[in-house]
Amino acid sequence: MELDSQGYPQKSDQSQGRFLVRSNQFKDPAIYSEGTLITVVGRLEDSETRLIGEMPYLYPVITVMEMKKWSPGEDMWPRIHFGFGIGTHF
């Protein structure tokens, strides 16, 4: 899932693949339920084969270094900014 310019996950119907995320900290399944948007920064550590239906699928395994849980509609910055002045943007 791609991120927008503010770092917010952009929903898409197109999958770029599946992966597993490992964390050394407990993540409550009531808080991190299916459909919860998260951003993960981590290290690709391993791979693991699991079944999807009856077919084996090789998942990359990412070990979490940082993780952000997004609340529905959460935004870090205003999407529209009005102002005057001179400046640059990269």
Residue ranges of domains in the chain: 1-72
What whole-number distance in Å separates Cα of residue 58 and Cα of residue 89? 41
The residue with greater pLDDT, 21 or 73, is 21
16-69 confidence digits (pLDDT tens)? 788 999 999 999 999 999 888 888 899 999 999 999 999 999 999 999 999 989
Residue pair 57/19 in contact by the 8 Å Cβ criterion: no
Q: How many CB atoms lie within 10 A of CB 55?
A: 6
Write down the pLDDT at residue 54.
Answer: 97
